[in-house]
């Protein structure tokens, strides 16, 4: 349960970083509290999509991963980001990754790298075990 909540927070931070870095990526929110809630909703949608749908997509595109030496992961991550945006839109949270395919690929790259970094720094299970010893 903690790791799923950590994923939601890491995804929310990653989406926030993408909105700061990329001009085409946006999340609705008027006040600071509304923006934080919107980011958490998008982070939760991305965590659910990555946990439920992404494994099936990876199995279906396994050969393409091998043929492209892993570059297919960028396309799959972009598709998952678009799907998370659509899912967040169903609960009235506007999340846009840009009008162009390459802007979505770049947004997926930023979100992936930032989420990996946040998970590694703040929520790494191995570092918590080492601290307990």
Q: What was the pLDDT predicted at 86? A: 94
Do the Cβ atoms of 93 and 40 come closer than 8 Å?
A: no
In a domain, 128, yes or no: no
Strands (E), 6-132: 26-27, 95-96
Do the Cβ atoms of 11 and 42 come closer than 8 Å?
A: yes
In a domain, 129, yes or no: no
Examine the pLDDT at 36 and tell me if it is beyond 70. Answer: yes
**Domain encompassing residue 52:** 2-121
CA–CA separation, 67 vs 31, rounded Å?
46
The overall average pLDDT reported for the chain is 89
In a domain, 75, yes or no: yes
In a domain, 91, yes or no: yes
In a domain, 9, yes or no: yes
CA–CA separation, 1 vs 119, rounded Å?
15
Whole-model pTM: value is: 0.86
Domains: count for the chain:
1
Examine the pLDDT at 9 and tell me if it is beyond 90. Answer: yes
In a domain, 96, yes or no: yes
In a domain, 25, yes or no: yes
Average pLDDT estimate for 27-41? 90
In a domain, 133, yes or no: no
Angle at 5 (CA atoms; ends 21, 49), nearest 5 degrees: 70
């Amino acid at each position: 349960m903690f790791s799923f909540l950590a994923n939601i927070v890491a995804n929310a931070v990653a989406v926030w970083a993408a909105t700061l870095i990329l001009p085409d990526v946006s999340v609705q929110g008027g006040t600071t509290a509304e923006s934080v809630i919107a980011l958490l909703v998008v982070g939760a949608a991305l965590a659910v999509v990555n946990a439920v749908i992404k494994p099936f997509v990876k199995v279906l595109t396994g050969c393409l991963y091998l043929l492209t030496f892993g570059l297919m992961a960028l396309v799959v991550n972009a598709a998952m980001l678009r799907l998370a945006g659509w899912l967040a839109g169903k609960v009235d949270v506007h999340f846009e990754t840009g009008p162009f395919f390459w802007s979505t690929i770049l947004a997926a790259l930023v979100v992936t790298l930032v989420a990996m970094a946040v998970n590694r720094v703040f929520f790494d299970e191995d570092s918590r075990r080492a601290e307990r010893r």
